[in-house]
Structure formats: C-alpha cells, structure tokens
C-alpha cells in the first residue's frame, strides 16, 4: 500500500508541476501569436487527446514523468509561407525570451499560491523547545540547556523547528561564530548565545543541522507501541503487528520507544528475544533486525517499524495564520527565501561544501511525496511548493536543453544583434545533454544507494 501511495503521490505532484510549467510556455506563446501544435502532459503514446479551434492538440500521454509544448518552428519542420508569421523562430527576440521565462515563472507563481493557501488556512507547527544538549557540543559550551525555546538564528526570527532548520541549512560551510537567540525556561527574556563552529555541516549526507550543534528537540515520551509495520521487513517477518506494545528485550524491561530503538540499532543481524502485549495478552517473539549502512561504513539495526503517534501538549503547538492580504506578502517572502536557499545550495555543491550524494532523483521524490501526503494536506502542499521552486530554479540554469540555456542564447542574440550560430547551438546541445544526463544518472545512483 505504501508503494502504491508513493507512486500515486509522485504522479500527482509531477503532473501538477509539469502542467503549470508547460502552461506558462503555452499561455505566453499564444499571447505572442505563436502557433502551438501540441500541449502534452507526459511522454510517449497519447492516452487521450483533442484538438481545439486554434489547431492545438491537447494530450495526456502514457509516461507521466514530464511534458512538453511543441510550437510551430522552421528549425524543426518546413512551414507553409502563409503560417511563417506564426512560427516561434520568426518572432522578435524579446517575445522568445518571454516564452522561455514563462515556464519557470509559472512554477514560482504556483509556489506563491500554494504558500498563500497554507498561510490563509493556517498551519500548526511545533514550538522549537530544546529537549537535550549534548555535553561538550557547541550548544552546550555556549550555554544552551534543556527547556530553552529558540527564537532567532543569526538575527533571523524563528517560530518553529522548520524555521530553525531552514535557517541553519543556509549556513552550511559557516566558520566562526553562530548566533542563536533563545528564551530560557525560567524567564520570558530572550538571551543571545554564541556558538563556535568550524566548517559547519560541510559534506554531511544528509545534513544534520541540529545534531551538528548538539541540540535534540523536545518531544513527548513515546510509549513503545508499534504504529506502523513495513511489509517484508524484519518486524513483519517476526510477526509483529500494529498496536503491539514492547515490554521486554532480552529480559530487560522497556518503557520508552527510544530504549527499544537503541536495542534494535545495536543488534544488526543478531536475534533479539522480545516480549509484547497484544490485546491484553503477553507473547514471546524472536526479532532479528536487518542492517542499514552508515556513511562511516558501520551498520545499524533496522526492523521496518514506526512508533504510534502521541498528542503534543497544546503549549508546544503554535498556529501560524494570516489574513488574505497579509498572506500575499508572507507567500512572496517564503518563495524568495526558498529560491535563494536553492541557488545557494547549488553553489555550495559546485564548490564542494555540500556532498553530491545529497542529490535526489525520482525514487526519493516519490518517497517524500508519499510521506508528505500521509502526513496531511499542509505537508503535501508545502512539499509541492518547494518542489515547484526547485523545478523553476533548475530550469533557469544556463545549461543548453534547459530553459536557461535557451534564455542564454537569446540574451546573447539581443546583445549581438544576430542569433547564435546553428553550429554553436549544436555543440551546446550536446554538452547540455551530457550534463543533464550525468546529473540524472548521479541522482538515480544516490537514490538507489539510499534505498539499499
């Protein structure tokens, strides 16, 4: 069921993003008097199509992992003389630039609308209260302690753990002092703490913003009750079921979920004798955790099970909601922040501060799509907005075959007064295909490594 949900979620996400992107190209092309031959959602053989009064074929194709808008263009096929004024290549360069930019612009607009809807509907977030601080960590040395509520990072106000993580991720590679503002549990006055960091989170995979500072978020006690079992994994093979309460592991009493997790992590490939309570009856079972590799080469135990959720205290939940007008500014601000963060992450990956192994491909996108859909509508819409921004940014990179590559050619044409030669464009096309193909293969490889 989880796999089916992931597949359906990624089809919905990619379908929406691609449709909006291509509609941007289509809408501006029509306004510029360019004839659009086909608007296709998906690749391959059309499953459904119809032709409108303008001669444009709208199609839904069999492979739902992309889409395209095909325009009348003399570079692709002969164009009758009476139709040449409607060909893309005959239009002024500024109109061609507008058509190219329209696709990514539609993705940014979709993100703004999604964030606006979230801010108007309201989202519930977790107050960034510190649960524990590791001894001798940067946070401990600076004076942060259990119960402190984080209120700012590097002068930027934060009100949730999402805000904290986004602010910290933007500081990857930071050297020197990192300023955090927090409100101690016993007072209402925020204090400033200065943490000493060196090459913060450089090449971590995945980045661990809080753990790198020695901070563990506060969370309620989780009883050792199973809330999720993944089919085919160790927990399912041992006969464990949702609702089982773990009471003993190898004769040791268990009253906290994390204590059970610690036993599992330290027992990769080794049998554990466990006792569970199911429907009021005690049962003895043998559970043999599988293994999951770490970056260091070590392995930890893994059983494919999750804890049953518990209710968070009301005082640690915070409602974020804005009026329809105020939400516009907030949505624009969040979209701008995420766009700059994406661009900065690309830069840091190119200079070696972020490991290329953080690249994500279709498998990871499908998994996160499914997870966000199961987490609720607000999580799903937030992920959709973030992915839409990523698609817009990536398409604007100056790589031939992407929108940014075409934009580069047209800007050069605008400056020089004549088009880039067909030979130069052909060379650029081959280079662009090689670059994009390499990135896709790398992303797929890292996807598979994460999967295994």
Split the chain (452 residues) into runs of 10 and give each run's mean pLDDT.
67 84 95 94 88 91 83 90 92 95 96 95 90 93 92 92 90 92 86 92 86 91 88 89 91 89 89 91 91 70 87 85 94 94 90 82 71 75 91 92 92 90 89 88 80 65
| Paired strand residues for 181 | 152, 192
Q: Is 26 exposed, middle or buried (0-12, 13-18, 19+ CB in 10 A)?
A: buried
> Can you give the pLDDT at residue 451?
67
| Torsion angle of C-alpha atoms 318, 161, 329, 121, degrees rounded to 10 | -40
Q: What is the pTM of this model?
A: 0.82
> Can you give the pLDDT at residue 185?
82
> Can you give the pLDDT at residue 296?
57
* Every domain of the chain and the residues it spans: 97-122+322-452, 130-217, 226-309
Choose the catalytic residue: 22, 248, 311, 315.
22
206 upstream amide cis, omega within 30 of 0: yes
Is 273 annotated in the active site?
no
As given in the structure block, the two tokens for residue 308 are 């049953």
* Rounded CA separation 124/107 (Å): 25
Q: Are the beta carbons of 215 and 133 closer than 8 angstroms?
A: yes
As given in the structure block, the two tokens for residue 432 are 């662009």
Q: Are the beta carbons of 396 and 27 closer than 8 angstroms?
A: no
> Can you give the pLDDT at residue 452?
63
As given in the structure block, the two tokens for residue 217 are 């978020």
What's the CATH superfamily of 130-217? PDZ domain (2.30.42.10)
Would 130-217 and 226-309 be classified into the same CATH topology? yes
> Hey, what CATH class is 226-309 in?
mainly beta
Q: Is 246 exposed, middle or buried (0-12, 13-18, 19+ CB in 10 A)?
A: buried
> Can you give the pLDDT at residue 3?
64
Q: Are the beta carbons of 107 and 30 closer than 8 angstroms?
A: no
Report residue 6: phi and psi, to 5°.
Answer: -60, -45
As given in the structure block, the two tokens for residue 288 are 């043999």
Q: Are the beta carbons of 129 and 148 closer than 8 angstroms?
A: yes
């Amino acid at each position: 069921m989880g796999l089916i949900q992931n597949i359906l979620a990624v089809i919905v996400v990619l379908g929406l993003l691609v449709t909006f992107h291509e509609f941007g190209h289509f809408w501006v092309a029509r306004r510029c008097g360019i004839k659009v031959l086909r608007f296709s959602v998906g690749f391959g053989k059309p499953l459904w199509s119809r032709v409108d009064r303008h001669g444009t074929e709208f199609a839904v194709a069999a492979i739902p992992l992309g889409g395209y808008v095909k325009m009348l263009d003399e570079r692709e096929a002969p164009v009758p003389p009476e139709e040449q004024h409607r060909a893309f290549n005959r239009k002024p360069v500024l109109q061609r630039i507008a058509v190219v930019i329209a696709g990514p612009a539609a993705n940014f607009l979709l993100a703004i609308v999604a964030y606006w809807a979230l801010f108007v509907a309201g989202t519930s977030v977790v107050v960034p209260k510190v649960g524990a601080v590791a001894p001798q960590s940067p946070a401990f040395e600076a004076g942060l302690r259990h119960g402190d509520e984080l209120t700012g990072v590097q002068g930027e106000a934060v009100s949730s753990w999402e805000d904290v993580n986004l602010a910290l991720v933007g500081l990857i590679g930071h050297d020197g002092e990192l300023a955090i503002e927090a409100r101690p549990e016993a007072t209402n006055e925020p204090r400033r703490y200065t943490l000493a960091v060196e090459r913060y989170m450089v090449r971590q995979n995945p980045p661990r913003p809080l753990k790198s500072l020695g901070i563990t978020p506060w969370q309620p006690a989780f009883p050792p009750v199973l809330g999720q079992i993944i089919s085919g994994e160790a927990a399912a093979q041992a006969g464990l079921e949702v609702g089982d309460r773990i009471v003993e592991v190898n004769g040791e009493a268990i009253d906290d979920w994390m204590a059970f997790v610690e036993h599992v992590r330290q027992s990769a490939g080794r049998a554990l004798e466990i006792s569970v309570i199911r429907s009021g009856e005690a049962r003895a079972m043998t559970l043999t955790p599988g293994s999951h590799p770490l970056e260091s080469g070590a392995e930890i135990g893994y059983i494919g099970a999750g804890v049953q959720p518990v209710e968070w205290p009301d005082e640690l939940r915070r409602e974020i909601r804005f009026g329809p007008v105020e939400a516009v500014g907030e949505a624009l601000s969040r979209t701008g922040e995420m766009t700059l963060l994406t661009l900065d992450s690309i830069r840091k990956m190119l200079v070696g501060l972020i490991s290329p192994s953080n690249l994500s491909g279709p498998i990871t996108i499908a998994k996160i799509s499914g997870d966000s859909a199961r987490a609720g509508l607000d999580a799903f819409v937030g992920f959709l907005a973030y992915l839409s921004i990523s698609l817009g940014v990536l398409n604007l990179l100056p790589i031939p075959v992407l929108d940014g590559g075409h934009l580069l050619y047209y800007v050069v044409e605008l400056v020089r007064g004549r088009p880039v030669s067909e030979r130069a464009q052909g060379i650029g096309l081959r280079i662009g295909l090689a670059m994009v193909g390499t990135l896709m293969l790398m992303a797929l490889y890292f996807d598979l490594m994460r999967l295994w």
